[in-house]
Amino acid sequence: PICRRAAPSAEFSVDRHRHLMSFLTMLGPSPDWNVGLSAEDLCTKDCGWVQKVVQDLIPWDAGTDSGVTYESPNKPTVPQEKIRPLTSLDHPQSPFYDPEGGSIKLVARVVIERIARKGEQCNIVPDNIDDIVADLAPEEKEEDDTPETCIYSNWSPWSACSSSTCEKGKRMRQRMLKAQLDLSVPCPDTQDFQPCMGPGCSDEDGSTCMMSDWITWSPCSVSCGMGTRSRERYVKQFPEDGSMCKVPTEETEKCIVNEECSPSSCLVTEWGEWDECSASCGTGMKRRHRMIKMTPADGSMCKAETTEAEKCMMPECHTIPCLLSPWSEWSDCSVTCGKGMRTRQRMLKSAAELGDCNEELEQAEKCMLPECPIDCELTEWSQWSECNTSCGKGHMIRTRMIKMEPQFGGTACPETVQRTKCRVRKCLRGPGMEKRRWKEAREKRRSEQAKKNIDSEQYPVCRLKPWTAWTECSTLCGGGIQERYMMVKKRSKSTQFTSCKDKKELRACNVHPC
């Protein structure tokens, strides 16, 4: 059995210069196995900080020891190898071995969770001291009557107020129900609402004025150079205690239009209001525009910019963790033999309106079954060879080659050579040929008998020379013919040895297809 201790924990700080997190820890006992993370970026794409990172870890081999089990004796690797992830096919004695080559077992999980924000985003200057103090101030403890059998995530931050004026609206926060340990005990709602009013308004102080939003800035007082502009707002509701409103209803500020008032400068309008931020949370961009009223008097090109853009910061993006079902069992392999794929799924249990869930809901991995049978594979038949005789009856052959031998119980190879009869022109025969052949056969029998009784010096035997070499093949491919001959060395003049004749043999050649 493997002893597992309680999960260790540690706290660390990050900032815009140091936002990559790495760690490595050894598995003990083991040869040189370890788990860890390398350069995990804790910045978000919107230049904020991640709220939570959960990573399942597989074991890695440091390349310094060649042991194959947790308790293998020391066996230094010489020379040392590069660090690499262990696999399920490394060694049959490995605790991670899987003959089907599936995914390696996960051995650890690391959870990185932000516990405080101390005022600095990834790529902007730190917040002012008031914001930092506000972030670090202890939160007011809320009374919580949640039953112990209901397990929730933390509350999300309050949303913006539904009213942007001093009329009453609502704001909302949410939390996730992760588990209900006792179904007989009901769990409270996952949403919480609170009355609110727009910025600058309060329903607690009876002497507060309810003001409208500011009206758009007036045009600048000059068309060239520095001037002033103003904007106004009005009282929507006077204080309930009858006191006078002391909140200003008008404000003025300096404005500059067409800084260069020369014949070569063009006259432009004032900048319009900023567009809405391109992001609903986090960092985005906003733009404003102006128009050219008059081109330069000297006919030159107007170099004034008509569009201006700058970054804008919206409230930090908050994600609500997904509530997921456990993974299903792996599906059957997609093939009946050889290499294939298998999948597993899980379901999203949290409500869709609580936010997008980016967790994967399906996984796939390779699977291996016994090798598929491979049948014998042959080429096409070659052309038929020429007939092996120049006259009378003979035979022709054709062949085919084995391209793939049968494997893993595949179909055996059929015949690779076929033979068929052939007939060429009739062989020429003289008159009385049958009678002559009968006579020659009779003389042959007599000569064989005579050889047993008569000295060989009086009646010499038929002597033949050795076989000649085979002739060149009649074709380069598709099946041809080769010939060789055995010639009579010494021919007797006796009529008893008229059957002593030259011999001839034929064979097929170059049977491979063209």
Where in the chain is CATH 2.20.100.10? 380-423, 464-488+502-513
Task: Give the C-alpha separation, 355 to 317, whole Å.
Answer: 11
Q: Using an 8 Å Cβ cutoff, are 174 and 190 in contact?
A: yes
Q: Using an 8 Å Cβ cutoff, are 168 and 180 in contact?
A: no
Token pair 């112990």 in the structure block, residue? 148
**For residue 399, how many other CB atoms are within 10 A of its CB?**
20
**For residue 452, how many other CB atoms are within 10 A of its CB?**
6
262, pLDDT greater than 80: no
What per-residue confidence (pLDDT) applies to 129?
35
What per-residue confidence (pLDDT) applies to 287?
92
| 406-412: long-range contacts, CB 8 A cutoff, minimum separation 24 | 406/373, 406/374, 406/375, 406/376, 407/371, 407/373, 407/374, 408/370, 408/371, 408/372, 408/373, 408/374, 409/373, 410/373, 410/374, 410/375, 410/376, 411/373, 411/375, 411/376, 412/376
What per-residue confidence (pLDDT) applies to 113?
81
What radius of gyration do the chain's Cα atoms show?
A: 50
| pTM (two decimals) | 0.27
Average pLDDT, the chain: 77
Q: Using an 8 Å Cβ cutoff, are 171 and 158 in contact?
A: yes
Task: Give the C-alpha separation, 413 to 375, whole Å.
Answer: 8
Task: Give the C-alpha separation, 324 to 231, whole Å.
Answer: 52
Give the angle 279-283-285 at the CA atoms, nearest 5°. Answer: 65
Average the pLDDT over each of 29-33, 450-454, 498-502 and give the range with the smallest value. 450-454
Give backbone dihedrals phi and psi of 390, rounded to 5 degrees, phi first: -95, -15
| 209-215: long-range contacts, CB 8 A cutoff, minimum separation 24 | 209/235, 209/237, 209/238, 209/239, 209/245, 209/246, 209/247, 210/166, 210/235, 210/236, 210/237, 211/166, 211/235, 211/236, 211/247, 211/249, 212/165, 212/236, 213/164, 213/165, 214/251
Q: Using an 8 Å Cβ cutoff, are 287 and 307 in contact?
A: yes
Q: Using an 8 Å Cβ cutoff, are 14 and 42 in contact?
A: yes
What per-residue confidence (pLDDT) applies to 364?
92
What per-residue confidence (pLDDT) applies to 430?
55
Answer whether CATH 2.20.100.10 is correct for domain 380-423. yes
493, pLDDT greater than 50: yes
**Residues 439-461: tens digit of each pLDDT:** 777 777 777 766 655 544 444 55
Q: Using an 8 Å Cβ cutoff, are 392 and 427 in contact?
A: yes
**Residues 54-107: tens digit of each pLDDT:** 888 989 999 999 888 888 888 899 888 889 888 888 888 888 888 887 888 888
**Residues 97-137: tens digit of each pLDDT:** 888 878 888 888 898 887 655 444 454 444 333 333 333 33
Confidence of residue 160 (pLDDT cuts 50, 70, 90): confident
Confidence of residue 344 (pLDDT cuts 50, 70, 90): very high
Tell me whether residue 495 is exposed, middle or buried, using C-beta atoms within 10 angstroms of its C-beta: 0 to 12, 13 to 18, 19 or more.
exposed
229, pLDDT greater than 80: yes
Q: Pick from 265, 262, 238, 260: which is nearest to 249 by CA?
A: 238
Give backbone dihedrals phi and psi of 141, rounded to 5 degrees, phi first: -75, 130
Q: Using an 8 Å Cβ cutoff, are 469 and 441 in contact?
A: no
What per-residue confidence (pLDDT) applies to 351?
54
DSSP per-residue codes, 480-510: EEEEEEE-EEE---SGGGTT---EEEEEEE-
What mean pLDDT do residues 10-32 have?
84
Q: Which residue has the higher pLDDT, 471 or 319?
A: 471
What per-residue confidence (pLDDT) applies to 432?
56
Residue type, 189: D
B/e letters for 325-335, b = 16+ CB within 10 Å, e = fewer, are eeeeeeeebee
Average the pLDDT over each of 55-59, 157-161, 477-481 and give the range with the smallest value. 477-481
Confidence of residue 492 (pLDDT cuts 50, 70, 90): low
Task: Give the C-alpha separation, 514 to 510, whole Å.
Answer: 9
Give the angle 396-400-402 at the CA atoms, nearest 5°. Answer: 155
386, pLDDT greater than 50: yes
Which are the contacts of 198, defined by CB distance < 8 A and separation ≥ 6? 161, 163, 164, 165, 166, 167, 169
What per-residue confidence (pLDDT) applies to 26?
86
- Strand 362-368 relative to strand 339-345, pairing: antiparallel
Token pair 């700080």 in the structure block, residue? 13
Indicate the SS3 state at residue 451: helix
Q: Where does 146-190 show beta strands of DSSP type E?
A: 150-152, 169-174, 177-180
- The two structure tokens encoding residue 81: 């190898």
Q: Say which CATH topology domain 464-488+502-513 has.
A: TSP-1 type 1 repeat (2.20.100)
Average the pLDDT over each of 77-81, 229-233, 422-426 and give the range with the smallest value. 422-426
**Residues 178-200: tens digit of each pLDDT:** 777 777 888 887 888 888 877 65
What per-residue confidence (pLDDT) applies to 362?
92
